[in-house]
Structure 1
Amino acid sequence: MDKKLFFEIIDKFLKGKANPKEQELLFKQYDAFQKNGQDWDDSEHGEYEEVRTSIYERIRSEIDKKEKNLFNRHWAKIAIASCLLIACSLVVYFRNNNDILGNKVVSSQVIKPGGNEATLTLQDGSKVLLNAVNIGEIAQQGNIKITKTKDGQLVYTIAANNDNDGIQTESYNSIETPRGGQYQINLPDGSKVWLNAASSLKYPTVFKGTERKVELTGEGYFEIAKDKTHPFKVITQNQQVEVLGTHFNIDAYNDNGNTKTTLLEGSVKAGLINSSDSKTLKPGEQMIVNQQKISVIEVDTEEAIAWKNGYFMFNNESLETVMNKIARWYNIDIDYNGNKINKTFGGSISRFKNVKDVLSMLELTGSVHFKIEGRRVIVMP
C-alpha cells in the first residue's frame, strides 16, 4: 500500500467511515509500515501518540459498555483497531475473558467455506460439472462457444463472422450452484451474472427478439450490458425486473419469504408477476416483495452485495436469517434443538473462514452458543 492511501484510510477509520475492506488493509499493512521506518507526519496526520490514544479509548469504551453485543457494526472497527494499536486481536482478548465470551464453539470438525462450484445443463439435457472440467472450451452449440476461464468463469461467445442466425431455434441452458457453491457467468450479450450458493439461472444461448429474458432462483448479482432497444428481464417466482443496462442484486431465496431487489447503478423497473403494479428504483433503493405486497426502502448497497465481495454482512437480522446464510455457504444443517432465540445480529466477517470462526464471532454476543457434530450445527441459548 502506498503511503498516501495508508493515511487516507487511517483518517477514514478515525472518523468511523472505513469499510471492511479498508479495515482489512490496515490490519495487514500497519505493522509493516512501522517496521519499514516510514515517516508519520504529525503536522499532517496528528500527533502519533494522540492518534493511538484516541483509537484505544474507543476500544475501551466499547468493551466497557453494559451491552455485551460486540458482534455488530462496530466489531470490525474494534478488532482492526486493536490489531493496529496493541498488536493483538480482540478476538484473542475476548477468548481469554470468560465474562464476555462465555462458552466456545464445541467442535473437532473442520468445515471449510464454499467455492466456485456449479453444474451447467445444456439444451440436450447433458450436464457439465464445471469444477471438474479443464480450462478452455467445454461445449459448442451452433455458433455459440462455451468456455471455462482460469479464474472460474463461464463465458458465452458468438463465433467470429457469424450472427445470431447460427441457431435457428431458441436454445436454453441453465447453471445451478449447490449449497457451498458460487459461480460467475458471462452471457452472449456481454452481461455478467454472479450466482450465490443454492441458486440457478436459466437463459437462452442467444438473445433473440425484442427482449433479453432470464429466470432466477436463489440470489444473483447482475451487471447488464446496455442495449436500449432490447430490455433485459429477470423473472423470479413472484417478481419481474426490467432494465436497459444497470447493476443490481436480487435475493429470491424461498426460505425468507421475501424477494429483495437492490439497485446499485442505473435504473430498474420491478413489480409482481402478471400485475401492472410496479415501481422504478433509484440507486441505493431496495424493493421488497412480500406476499403480493411491494415496499421500497433506502439501504446500504454494500450490505446487499457483501456475499459477492466475499463477506457476510448482517444488519439487525434474526438468528434464523443469519444461520440460513451460513448454512447455504458452508453446506451444513442447522438444528435449533427446540430453542427459540429472539435476538438480532449485525456485523461483517469474511466468508472464507472456517465456519467455527464465524460461529465464534456470533457467540461474542453471549446470547447464543453452538456445537458442531459432523456437518450439523446445534444452536443453543
Structure 2
Amino acid sequence: MEPGIEDEKLKEALDLLEEIERVDEKKGYDRLVKPLRQKERRLLAWRRVVLSSAAVILPLLVAGIWWSVREKAEVPPLARVDAIVPGVNTARLILADRKEILLDTMSARNLTLVSGETVRKEGTGVVYENGQKTSETVVYNELVVPKGGEYDIVLGDGTRVWLNADSKLKFPVSFTGKERRVYLEGEGYIDVARDTARPFIVETREQSIRVLGTAFNVYAHEGERMTYTTLARGSVQVKDKKTGKSVALHPGEQLCLDVADRGMVVREVDVRKECAWKDGMFVFNGQTLEQIMLKLSRWYNVTVFYQNEEAKKIVFKGNLPRYSDFQTMLSILEKSSEVKFSEKNRVITVSI
C-alpha cells in the first residue's frame, strides 16, 4: 500500500471520528450549557428591575443555580487509561541460522544473507531480492510481528504480505521448484504475484489455501474457534486439513471454518471492510464486544478481563481509525452502550 493511499484512508477515518466528537459536543451543550444560558438571561432581566438588591443576591443565586444544574447533569467520568498507544511498525526477522534482527531498529538499509539474497528496508516493510542461487535447497526465514505491531514484506517472487499484530509468516528466501509455499499464523493480507507454472500455497494450522495470482485475507489465530478466508480478487481453493473437504471461493466471498465442529460456511461480504485493517481502519460490522476486544488487545497490547459474561455478547457497529489512542476507543464504546471499562497495569476490566 502506497503511503499516500494509507494517509487518505486514515484521513477519512479521522474525519468520521471528528464528526462523532462534534455530535457529542453538541449533545453536551444542549444538556448542560444551554439551560445555564437561559437561566442567565432571566437573571439579567431580573437585575434590571431590582438592581440595588441584585448586587448582593445575584452572585449567590447564580452560584446556586450553577451547582444545582451541574449536580443533576453531571455524567460519570469515562474510563481512564494511562499511556496505552496504538500499534507501530515493528517486527523481527528470524534467519535460517536462528539469528534475529529487529527490523524497526536496523540501521543498515540493506542486508545480504548467507544464501545470497538481499533484504532491503523500504517504506513500512522489507523487500527480498533474489541473488545468484548456487543451491536448490530451500532456506526459510520467519517474520514475526508482536502484539502492538504491524509490518509488510515483499517476497522473492514479488508477492506482498501485510501482517497484522500478533502474526507470523514463515517463507523461503527464494522460491524454487514447482510451487511457492508459505506458513501463516495470525492474520495477513496477501497479494500474490501471478505465476501460472507455480501455484502459491498458504498453510495455516487448520487449512491449506491454493492460488495462482490473487489477493485475499486470512484470519487464523491459534486458540480461536473461527478462521476466515476472504477473497478480494482472483480465485482460491481452500482445503480443510482434517476433513479433506475443499471449497472454491470467488471475489467478494468469505469462508468461515469452525475449528470445533469443522463446519464450513461461505458467505458474501464487503471485502473493503473485512480487509480495512491494512489501510488503517477498524471496521466493527455487527461484531460482539468479545470479538472487538480481541482485536484491540492485540493492537494495543493489553489484556482483557470480563466481570460479566453478558458483556461479551454486546454487538457494535462502526468505523474507527486504528491509530486512535486507546482512551478514544474505550470512550466511544462506553458512550454507545452500557459497558464500562477500567484499566490497571495494562489489564482492561469490562463490566456492565
Range into which the TM-score falls when normalised by the shorter chain: 0.7 to 0.9
Give the Å deviation of 1:143. Answer: 2.2
Give the Å deviation of 1:276. Answer: 3.7
Separation of aligned partners in 1, 2:296 and 2:221:
14
* Residue 375 (structure 1) aligns with: 346
Separation of aligned partners in 2, 1:25 and 1:230:
39
Q: Among residues 105, 125, 131, which one is paired with 1:153 in the alignment? A: 125
Q: Among residues 242, 255, 272, which one is paired with 1:287 in the alignment? A: 255
The aligned amino acid for 1:156 is Y
Unaligned residue ranges in structure 1 (runs of 5+): 1-20, 29-75
User: What is the 5 A alignment of 1:171-250?
Assistant: 171-250=139-218
Against the structure 1 CA distance between its residues 289 and 316, is the aligned structure 2 distance closer, same or farther, given a 3 Å change threshold?
same
The aligned amino acid for 1:93 is K
The aligned amino acid for 2:328 is D
Separation of aligned partners in 1, 2:93 and 2:215:
24
The residue matched to 2:82 in structure 1 has which SS? coil
The aligned amino acid for 2:177 is G
Separation of aligned partners in 2, 1:126 and 1:366:
48
Give the Å deviation of 1:132. Answer: 1.4
Q: Which runs of 4+ in 1 moved over 3 A?
A: 21-28, 93-104
Give the Å deviation of 1:284. Answer: 0.4
Give the Å deviation of 1:197. Answer: 0.3
Is the radius of gyration larger for structure 1 or structure 2?
2
Q: Please, which moves more after superposition, 342-351 or 95-104?
A: 95-104
The residue matched to 1:307 in structure 2 has which SS? helix
Give the Å deviation of 1:378. Answer: 1.4
Unaligned residue ranges in structure 2 (runs of 5+): 1-7, 33-71
The aligned amino acid for 2:101 is V
Give the Å deviation of 1:351. Answer: 0.6
Separation of aligned partners in 1, 2:110 and 2:77:
48
* Residue 53 (structure 2) aligns with: none
Separation of aligned partners in 2, 1:344 and 1:100:
28
Q: Among residues 245, 263, 282, which one is paired with 1:312 in the alignment? A: 282
User: What is the 5 A alignment of 1:246-265?
Assistant: 246-265=214-233
Q: Please, which moves more after superposition, 365-374 or 214-223?
A: 365-374
**2:294 aligned with 1:324, yes or no?**
yes
Q: Among residues 354, 357, 362, which one is paired with 2:328 in the alignment? A: 357
Normalised TM-score (structure 1): 0.74
More helix by share: 2
User: What is the 5 A alignment of 1:87-166?
Assistant: 89-94=22-27, 103-107=76-80, 109-149=82-122, 151-159=123-131, 162=132, 165-166=133-134
The aligned amino acid for 2:128 is Y
Give the Å deviation of 1:303. Answer: 1.6
The residue matched to 1:156 in structure 2 has which SS? strand
Separation of aligned partners in 1, 2:147 and 2:73:
33
Contact 1:176-1:200 within 8 A present in 2 as well? yes
Against the structure 1 CA distance between its residues 103 and 152, is the aligned structure 2 distance closer, same or farther, given a 3 Å change threshold?
same
Contact 2:112-2:118 within 8 A present in 1 as well? yes
Separation of aligned partners in 1, 2:83 and 2:10:
27
User: Cα deviations across residues 338-362 of structure 1 (Å, max 9, x unaligned)?
Assistant: 4531311111100101100011111
Q: Among residues 225, 241, 246, which one is paired with 1:278 in the alignment? A: 246
Give the Å deviation of 1:101. Answer: 11
Contact 1:256-1:321 within 8 A present in 2 as well? no
Separation of aligned partners in 1, 2:345 and 2:265:
41
User: Cα deviations across residues 50-89 of structure 1 (Å, max 9, x unaligned)?
Assistant: xxxxxxxxxxxxxxxxxxxxxxxxxx4xx66x58xxxx71
Separation of aligned partners in 2, 1:203 and 1:132:
22
Separation of aligned partners in 2, 1:279 and 1:100:
57
Contact 2:10-2:321 within 8 A present in 1 as well? no
User: Cα deviations across residues 215-260 of structure 1 (Å, max 9, x unaligned)?
Assistant: 0000000000000010000010111111000010000013431110
The residue matched to 2:290 in structure 1 has which SS? helix
Separation of aligned partners in 1, 2:271 and 2:73:
32
Give the Å deviation of 1:107. Answer: 1.3
Contact 2:215-2:231 within 8 A present in 1 as well? yes
Contact 2:283-2:320 within 8 A present in 1 as well? yes
The residue matched to 2:120 in structure 1 has which SS? strand
